[in-house]
Amino acid sequence: MEIKEEALDTKFTEEIPLKILAHNNFVGRLIGKEGRNLKKIEQDTGTKITISPLQDLTLYNPERTITVKGSIEACSRAEEEVMKKVREAYESDMAAMNLQSNLIPGLNLNALGLFPSGTPGMGPSMSNFPPSGAHGGCSSFGGQPESETVHLFIPALAVGAIIGKQGQHIKQLSHFAGASIKIAPAEGMDAKQRMVIIVGPPEAQFKAQCRIFGKLKEENFFGPKEEVKLEAHIKVPSFAAGRVIGKGGKTVNELQNLTCAEVVVPRDQTPDENDQVIVKISGHFFACQLAQRKIQEILAQVRRQQQQQLKPQPGGQPPMPRRK
């Protein structure tokens, strides 16, 4: 009885902060463009809500702390609204992933750490992803995933957010993804876009690109209802470009229909010093990933056919080396 009276005397029951942990992937959508979603929850419930800074995140703690202050009743109402928003973000991400789950060959997405581990419902929904390297498109002939280079174009204004204070964010991102991530110098003073050079095997590409798309959404470089759409360039050997295009553009059209990404092999390109040409892919994250994987699959088929041709035929002479 005494404790209750003391609590009433000190108005202790009025201001008990409520702390909620939420995975960083969902926080941007909880906050909303220019903080609108959060302000609305504060106004509707009569609470004050703060969120721990991005700088507090580490590789081992991908969660942000949401602190709600107000009366117990107000905090309870706010908690309901906050969790509703987080649940919506989680469900839309899972729906997008499940939609693509059978389409992205050779990626073990279960091991990517894109969602908090142990989240209810995570197990079965991820089970249809094949193990890494299960398809030729993602592995080299030795069975090890082959390193790929992707050039991802981001708004020039977003460079600071991707690099982070003293380069901390880009370092954490490289470490998390297991990829080399570098930002190319600006081409000209008024460049609207900057190129991010990502080097690593398929899973590293998936992780790195996913985090970059997510970060741009989080930092409100795109509107709340707007899909983050970026352009990615991958280089293919010039002799294989025809296979990506297909007869009369058939393959590239099928690719676009399947992936919902725009895939363009610009005509009349001069191959670079490595005899490679650029394929441009633009679209939202999953569309971009799917197109990249499908193109890598085509390239792996071309490489396999080349290897077959170079093998000595039984009982015959080995083929003559091709002249350059």
Confidence of residue 218 (pLDDT cuts 50, 70, 90): confident
Q: Does pLDDT of 2 surpass 70?
A: no
Residue 82 to residues 47, 175, 276, Cα–Cα distance (Å): 12, 31, 49
Using one digit for the tens of pLDDT, what is the confidence trace for 8-30? 555 555 577 999 999 887 888 88
Confidence of residue 285 (pLDDT cuts 50, 70, 90): confident
Assess whether 150 and 274 both reside in one domain.
Answer: yes
Confidence of residue 160 (pLDDT cuts 50, 70, 90): very high
Instruction: Calculate what percentage of the chain has a pLDDT beyond 70.
Output: 75
Assess whether 89 and 206 both reside in one domain.
Answer: no
Assess whether 252 and 194 both reside in one domain.
Answer: yes
- For helices 285-310 and 202-218, the axis angle rounded to 10 degrees is 160
Assess whether 151 and 296 both reside in one domain.
Answer: yes
Domain count, the chain: 2
Assess whether 173 and 302 both reside in one domain.
Answer: yes
Q: What pTM did the predictor assign?
A: 0.57
214 is a domain residue: yes
Confidence of residue 312 (pLDDT cuts 50, 70, 90): low
Q: Write down the pLDDT at residue 137.
A: 35
Using one digit for the tens of pLDDT, what is the confidence trace for 79-137? 999 999 999 888 877 776 665 555 555 555 554 444 444 333 333 333 333 333 333 33
- Name the nearest CA neighbour of 289 among 211, 232, 242: 232
Taking residues 277-298, report their average pLDDT. Answer: 90
Residue 224: strand, helix, or coil? coil
Domain that holds residue 32: 2-100
Q: Name the more confident of 94 and 263.
A: 263
Assess whether 164 and 286 both reside in one domain.
Answer: yes
Domain stops at, among 100, 120, 151: 100
Assess whether 87 and 214 both reside in one domain.
Answer: no
Residue 5 CA to residue 300 CA, distance in Å, equals: 75
Assess whether 145 and 290 both reside in one domain.
Answer: yes
Domain stops at, among 73, 100, 127: 100
Assess whether 153 and 220 both reside in one domain.
Answer: yes
Assess whether 83 and 161 both reside in one domain.
Answer: no
316 is a domain residue: no
Q: Name the more confident of 145 and 250.
A: 250
Task: Give me the CATH number covering residue 244.
Answer: 3.30.310.210
286 is a domain residue: yes
Asked whether the beta carbons of 30 and 82 are under 8 A apart, the reply is yes
Task: Give me the CATH number covering residue 43.
Answer: 3.30.1370.10
Which residue, chain included where needed, has tokens 């600071």? 160
Assess whether 168 and 64 both reside in one domain.
Answer: no
106 is a domain residue: no
Q: Write down the pLDDT at residue 42.
A: 95
Taking residues 169-177, report their average pLDDT. Answer: 91
Instruction: Calculate what percentage of the chain has a pLDDT beyond 90.
Output: 33
